Amino acid sequence: MKSFDHPIFSQSIQLIQEQLGSTGLDALQKQVLERLIHSSGDFALAELLCFSPGACNIALDALLAGATVLTDTYMASAAVVSMARRTLKTPVNCVLDWTADKDFEGLTRTASGMKAAWSEISSKVSSEPLPIVLIGSAPTALNTLLDLVDEGAQPPSLIIGMPVGFINVLESKSKLAASGLPHIRLSGTRGGASLVAATVNALLRASYFHI
């Protein structure tokens, strides 16, 4: 087996597994949950974590085929870059890179960035799968992405939808749940940059060991 994890991380995961007991999740789903709990210290996330059918395997296939990661905030990007470099060398981008010198057209900055980024990314002809999109802070960016797909844009390989907070958060997560798109989400008001990063980091790690 490839040398990868620090002993403290391995010990923490063992403790988490012992406390969780049987979860009914498959191996990949359980790895995601364990990393979320490790990152948050919150076992209650086990009751909030939801997967669309085959979401983790879809993500694994996409990452191994060269999919990039697109985040809604620089904080989320920063939390993914290290794991991306240590595993598949996956490029990590943020929608805010698309907002410089642009008119937000009445949208939030992240929604404007998502609109510009996805319009550009999804229109390109490429042999690589479309990005895995992380939404940890901006329900408006999630809604914008879902609207673009409804209007005919190509869908992302996977959406990790965990916007945190109270305004439009529950509505955006419900919209994601009903979208039919491959996704991983947290129900309720919990979420954040660290949790979407933990989710994709678990998938990147699994991809690395899959090679």
Phi, psi of 207, deg, nearest 5: -65, -40
Check residue 178 and report its DSSP letter. Answer: T
Cα-Cα-Cα-Cα dihedral of 43, 209, 2, 40, to 10°? -20
Token match 């879809």: residue? 58
Nearest to 88 by CA among 201, 184, 196, 166: 201
Distance CA 6, CA 124 (A): 39
Q: Which of 6, 38, 183, 210 is catalytic?
A: 38
| Beta-ladder partners of 135 | 161
Distance CA 65, CA 61 (A): 6
Is 38 assigned a catalytic role?
yes
Token match 């990063």: residue? 197
Distance CA 177, CA 4 (A): 34
Residues with a catalytic annotation lie at 38
